[in-house]
Structure 1
Amino acid sequence: MTIFLVLGLFAGLYMIWLLFSLAVYALPVGAGIALALWLHDHSYGYPVAILGGLGVGMAVLIVGQFLLSVVCSPAIRMMIGLLFAVPAGVAGYHAVEAVLQLAIDAGPLLSALSWAGGLVIAATAWKRLACPALTEAAPQPYSRSIASAD
C-alpha cells in the first residue's frame, strides 16, 4: 500500500513538471489541432489532417520564436508573449482546477487557487518563450587554482 502512495506522489510531481515544461506549446498545439479538425471535417482525410496540423503547429512555434528574437519593440514583444502565455494560462487553469477538484469542493477557494495556478503557469510559459537561455542549465564556473592566480 505504501508503494502506491509513493508512486502516486512521484506521478503527481511528474505531471506538474510536465505541465510547467510543456505550457509554452499550448498555442501551437491548439492551432494544429484546430486545423487538423477543420481539415478532417471538410473531408480531406486523416493523413492530410494530421500532416497539416503538425505543419501548422510547428510553423506557429517557429514563427513565434523567430519574431521574439528579431523584434526590438517591447510592446510588440509583450503582445507576442501574451499570445503564447494566454493559452498556456487557460490550460494551466483547467489543469489545476481538475486536480484540485479531487480534494476541494467547488467554491471560491477552488476558483482562487485555479486562477493562481493559471497565472503562475502563464508567467512560466512567458519566461520560457521570451528568455530561453535562462531555462537551460547554466554552465558551471571553473575554479582557478591558487598557483595560477598570477
Structure 2
Amino acid sequence: MTMSSPAAGAVMALARTPAAASRYDLTPRATVVCAVLTLAAVTGLDLIDGRLGPAFAVGFVLVVLTAAAAVQERGLFTVGVLPPVLLVGALLLLASTVPDAIVIEGLPEATGVFGLTLNATIAHGVPLLIGHALAIAVIVARILSARR
C-alpha cells in the first residue's frame, strides 16, 4: 500500500483526528437507548423462527461492545454495568411476553416468569461473560488512552 492510495489517506486522516472529535460520542442516556433498541431489533429478527438462538447471543455481545466504544467518557460507568442489566431485562421481557421462545432442556413447562428468566440468564452466561469482558476491556483501553 503506497501513501498515495485512498486507503492510506483514510488511515492517515484517522490518525490525525483530534481528541475534540470525542464530543460527538453518545451521551450515556442515548447509548442505553440505542443499545436497548438495537438489542430489541436483533431479538425480533432472531424470533422469526419462534426461538431465541445464537443470533441473540452474538447480537448481545456486539451491542454491549459497541456501547462501550460509542459512549462519552462520563458514561463509562454506565456501559460498565449495562451488560447484565440489558441481558436480564431482555430475557425478563421475553419470558413474560413470549415464554415459548426460550427453550431450555429439562425445564418444566410450568416454570414461571422469574424461573424462566433465571434459567435463561444462566443459559446465556457465556455471551454475558464475553460481552461484559470485552466491554470492560474497551473501557480500560479508553481510560488508559485518555490519560496520555
TM bracket (short chain): 0.3 to 0.5
Structure with greater Cα Rg: 1
TM-score, with normalisation over the residues of structure 1?
A: 0.33
TM-score, with normalisation over the residues of structure 2?
A: 0.34
